[in-house]
Amino acid sequence: MSSWYHVAIAGATGAVGTEFLRVLERHRFPIASLRLLASERSEGKRIRFAGEELVVQRLTENAFEGVQIAFFSAGASRSRQFAPAAVKAGAVVIDNSSAFRMDPQVPLVVPEINIDDAQHHQGIIANPNCSTIIMLMAVAPLHRRWRARRVVVSTYQAASGAGAQAMQELLDQTAAILEGKEVTPRVLPHQIAFNLFSHNSAVNEYGYNEEEWKMIHESRKILHEPGLAITATCVRVPILRAHSESINIEFAERRPSVEEARQALSEFPGVKVVDDRERNHFPMPIEATDREEVLVGRIREDVSNPMAMDLFVSGDQLLKGAALNAVQIAEAMIARGWL
């Protein structure tokens, strides 16, 4: 990475925006200048980055002059409003929202899986849903070798997926309940401490919520498998950070052995196999938190189906599920001379 880039982060003060700053600094991303953008209420806030103090500016359509790479994590409505202005100003936008993911003109990219799609962007590249990324990091290396026919996934999604305020609500509710106090949900629709509930995004005519629908259709797009059978059940659990998922994969021609699957997963970039049956040590969100790898374990044959296999995964929703994946897209494009 010999070139240096003028970079902007839209939504810099949110939970994912904070992770962008951490990842960019940790990866020593080649930044010539960094512009932090957020809503009016955060304007003027000071944030330290790489030993310097940066002042947050207001996110406007005129805020992208001179910017070459714009990381967006400000929500779908703001992405729709401001991303075209960033592109018009000459920036490549890597958007973490759902705004453009299913647009056929916009690449939807997990770098380890389909980085070549990013080369064909028209100014905007979409970052997939966090649960989709974490699932596909385990599914893709097996699908490549043995071709999956059907995937069944159930998620255990942390409060981090709903943002910093939801994380704080989990902490506050837990403390209150331990003190014998009643709690009133304010950020999430139901009590999250000592409870779990179906993901609260809108339900469609098939009975699937938006999170489940995203996992189905985004996975097909990323894998270039429009006919792949996928079904998902997405659940919010009282975990502060890092999502977990139970995955059942049915293969089209033959099921790999446990050792073959373990080998394929261990060789895949960004995956860490955690599969110690003797010690009953498998992926846990507490160990996935603040790690860049997706942890994969519970690798076993499905005894009810000779063509299927079960896995359990944990991955940091704010890192590989969001900020890290976006930064990796930019890094891969720079390495290939596409930026």
The active-site residue out of 6, 121, 130, 143 is 130
pLDDT for the residue 80: 97
Domain ranges of the chain: 5-127+322-335, 132-317
Q: What are phi and psi of 193, to 5 degrees?
A: -65, 130
**Average pLDDT of the chain to the nearest whole number:** 97
Catalytic: 130?
A: yes
The whole-angstrom separation of Cα 36 and Cα 12 is 6
The active-site residue out of 6, 143, 199, 243 is 243
**5-127+322-335 under CATH 3.40.50.720, yes or no:** yes
Assess whether pLDDT exceeds 70 at residue 2: no
Contact 127, 96 (CB under 8 A): yes
Per-residue pLDDT, averaged over 164-181, amounts to 97
Per-residue pLDDT, averaged over 6-20, amounts to 95
* 201-222 tens-digit pLDDT: 889 999 999 999 999 999 999 9
Catalytic: 243?
A: yes
User: What would the two tokens of residue 224 be?
Assistant: 């270039």
Per-residue pLDDT, averaged over 177-193, amounts to 97
Contacts of 224 (CB under 8 A, 6+ apart): 114
Fold for 132-317, please state it.
Dihydrodipicolinate Reductase; domain 2 (3.30.360)
Q: How many CA atoms lie within 13 A of 198 on its CB side?
A: 10
